[in-house]
């Protein structure tokens, strides 16, 4: 059977020979968005499982995801008891992907700032590199709906991250990325510093330290459809401090890898989960 997705891509026998993909979406009060997003993700990536990591949203986001999950086994909900930060939520998704034997993990925002139509291009790039980034800051990419303050904050944090962390990629603060699970498994995530938005830069830093390859494909980032942005100047200042600390760790060559024994144990566990 052949079907055509949102991006005009034909899907024929998708499961055969394709990497096992987990799409992770972290939410807090994203009810209106998640009701629209999940059907679009199922259309553009019908072979993927979708994991929503919800921080006990008061607006009922988690309950809405549960309704989808009742009729679709590829929609999954990871419920957390309270809001613990975007970084911690993203990391919870990483751990789920590692523990359940997936090959790739694609993380994205729930608010449609990351259009599902970009997913096929990111997946294609992910076949060639360890970390495929949906990038606003390469030719063909861009941002719609931001004021000058948001542009300044984003460009500044990216320059800062490249300077202190030795990153070569242009878009280091966005979360629209696809990772090779085998690489995520090698990182000691108990050493992470960031709990909020600086987690995005920290992930790239740690991936670079273990020798990941990177690629960027252009996306158009559009400001959220519903709700309000959760980024503040307080978050921006916290991000600067985290990146500075990581810069010192880079100079000191602070370890980032898990032990070889842990990697072997995790791989064995993942194989068991994959075969269940």
Task: Report the pLDDT averaged over residues 33-45.
Answer: 97
Q: What is the pLDDT of residue 73?
A: 97
Q: What is the pLDDT of residue 248?
A: 97
Please compute, for residue 5, the number of CA atoms within 13 A of its CA located in the half-sphere on the CB side.
21
Residue ranges of E strands in 42-195: 49-54, 75-79, 104-108, 131-135, 142-144, 177-180
Q: What is the pLDDT of residue 9?
A: 46
Q: What is the pLDDT of residue 274?
A: 60
Q: What is the pLDDT of residue 19?
A: 94
Task: Report the pLDDT averaged over residues 177-188.
Answer: 98
List the domains of the chain with CATH numbers.
19-254 (3.90.550.10)
Q: What is the pLDDT of residue 101?
A: 96
Q: For strand 2-4 and strand 10-12, is the pairing parallel, antiparallel, or unpaired?
A: antiparallel
Q: What is the pLDDT of residue 259?
A: 82
Percent of the chain with pLDDT over 70: 85
Q: What is the pLDDT of residue 12?
A: 42
For residues 65 and 77, the answer to whether their CB atoms sit within 8 Å is yes
Q: What is the pLDDT of residue 3?
A: 42
Q: What is the DSSP letter of 79?
A: E
Model confidence at 264: pLDDT above 60:
no
Question: Global pTM?
Answer: 0.87
Q: What is the pLDDT of residue 90?
A: 96
Q: What is the pLDDT of residue 16?
A: 56
> Rounded CA gap, 206 and 255, in Å?
9
Contacts of 121 (CB under 8 A, 6+ apart): 7, 134, 217
Q: What is the pLDDT of residue 196?
A: 84
Q: What are phi and psi of 97, to 5 degrees?
A: -65, -40
Six-digit token pair at 54?
Answer: 């919800």
Q: What is the pLDDT of residue 11?
A: 45
Give residue-wise pLDDT tens across range 43-98.
999 999 999 999 999 999 999 999 999 999 999 999 999 988 899 999 999 999 99
What's the mean pLDDT when you consider all of the chain? Answer: 89
Give residue-wise pLDDT tens across range 115-173.
999 999 999 999 999 999 999 999 999 999 899 988 998 999 999 999 999 999 999 99
30-44, 103-117, 222-236: least confident range? 222-236
74-78, 243-247, 260-264: least confident range? 260-264
């Amino acid at each position: 059977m052949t079907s055509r997705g949102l991006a005009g891509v034909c899907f024929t026998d998708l499961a055969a020979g394709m990497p096992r993909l987990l799409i992770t979406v972290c939410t807090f009060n994203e009810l209106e968005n998640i009701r629209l997003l999940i059907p679009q993700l199922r259309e553009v990536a019908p072979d993927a499982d979708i994991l929503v990591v919800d921080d006990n949203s008061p607006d009922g986001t988690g309950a809405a995801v549960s309704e989808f999950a009742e009729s679709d086994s590829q929609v999954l909900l990871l419920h957390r008891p309270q809001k613990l930060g975007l970084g911690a939520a993203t990391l919870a998704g990483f751990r789920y992907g590692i523990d359940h034997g997936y090959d790739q993990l694609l993380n994205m925002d729930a608010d449609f700032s990351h259009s599902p139509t970009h997913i096929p291009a990111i997946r294609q790039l992910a076949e060639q590199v360890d970390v495929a980034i949906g990038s606003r800051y390469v030719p063909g990419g861009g941002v719609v709906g931001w004021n000058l303050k948001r542009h300044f904050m984003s460009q500044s944090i990216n320059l800062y991250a490249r300077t202190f962390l030795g990153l070569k990629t242009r878009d280091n603060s966005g979360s629209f990325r696809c990772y090779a699970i085998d690489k995520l498994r090698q990182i000691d995530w108990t050493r992470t510093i960031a709990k909020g938005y600086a987690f995005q830069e920290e992930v790239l830093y740690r991936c670079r330290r273990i020798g990941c390859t990177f690629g960027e494909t252009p996306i158009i980032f559009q400001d959220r459809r519903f709700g309000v942005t959760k980024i503040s100047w307080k978050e921006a200042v916290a991000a600067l401090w985290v990146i500075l600390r990581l810069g010192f760790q880079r100079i000191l060559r602070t370890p980032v890898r898990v032990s070889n024994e842990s990697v072997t144990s995790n791989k064995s566990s993942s194989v068991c989960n994959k075969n269940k």
